[in-house]
């Protein structure tokens, strides 16, 4: 895994990633160090499922945010996040973990999404957040 090639580390006030019309931003008012890792196609470039980005907060990092920017298949996005969590467990297993799905259409309050949120906590001790089109995380 080539973290140096696939990541940038900085402390800007706002960090934004975009893909397919979906947007995720880290609002970093306290100017903490944030390492943005491009997971899909860089850190993990084989055929296994993986999310789009990971954000390590602080140096050394104490928390990690996994992000999947998706069209509309929430179950597939969940699978990509859990695959990345499994793959990165050795590095991130002891950190506070949060997962975000930003999709074009989401049955946000529906039972399917609620089940995925419960399973994320039960299986990975991580919080799952599901948003439509745009999401923000405040450090």
pLDDT in tens, 86-132: 988 888 878 899 999 999 887 656 788 899 999 999 999 999 999 99
- Structural domains in the chain (count): 1
Give long-range contacts, CB 8 A cutoff, 24+ apart: 87-93. 87/44, 87/48, 87/50, 88/54, 88/64, 92/54, 92/56, 92/64
Is position 113 within any domain?
A: no
Is position 12 within any domain?
A: yes
Residue span of the structural domain in which 133 resides: 3-72+79-100+127-138
pLDDT in tens, 22-59: 999 999 999 999 999 999 989 988 889 999 999 999 98
Global confidence as pTM: 0.92
Is position 110 within any domain?
A: no
């Amino acid at each position: 895994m080539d973290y140096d090639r696939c990541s940038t580390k900085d402390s800007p006030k706002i960090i934004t990633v975009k893909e397919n019309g979906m947007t995720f931003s880290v609002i970093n008012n306290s100017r903490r160090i944030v390492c943005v890792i491009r997971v899909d196609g860089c850190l993990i470039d084989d055929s296994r499922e993986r999310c789009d980005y990971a954000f390590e907060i602080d140096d050394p990092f104490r928390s990690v945010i996994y992000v999947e920017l998706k069209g509309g298949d929430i179950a597939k996005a969940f699978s990509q996040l859990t695959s990345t969590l499994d793959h990165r467990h050795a590095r991130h297993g002891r950190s506070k973990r949060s997962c975000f799905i930003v999709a074009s259409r989401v049955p946000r309050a529906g039972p399917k999404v609620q089940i995925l949120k419960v399973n994320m906590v039960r299986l990975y001790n991580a919080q799952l957040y599901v948003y439509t089109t745009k999401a923000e995380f405040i450090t």
